[in-house]
Amino acid sequence: MGWFADKYGENTRPKMSIDTYDKLYTKFGEQAANDTLADVQDGKISEETLLKYLDDNDDEENDD
């Protein structure tokens, strides 16, 4: 059983999409993706707000 099920229970579904998780995992690594998933699950940040910042960051990288 993984950390998510251990923390939130086997029948709890993540509030963050797999696409967003993958984007975080690819850019920042597993620990950052897991920590952010927990923050979204705990209501500390919404996925919509997170995506706004990720998209802003992508735009800045493309300006170089």
Q: What is the pTM of this model?
A: 0.83
Which residue from 33, 64, 38 is spatially nearest to 54, judged by alpha carbons? Answer: 33
- State the total domains in the chain: 1
Give me Rg for the CA atoms of the chain.
Answer: 13
What is d(CA 3, CA 1) in angstroms, rounded to the nearest whole number?
7
What's the domain range around 25? 3-62
List per-residue pLDDT tens for the chain, 64 residues long: 699 999 999 999 999 999 999 999 999 999 999 999 999 999 999 999 999 988 877 766 676 5
What is d(CA 57, CA 52) in angstroms, rounded to the nearest whole number?
9
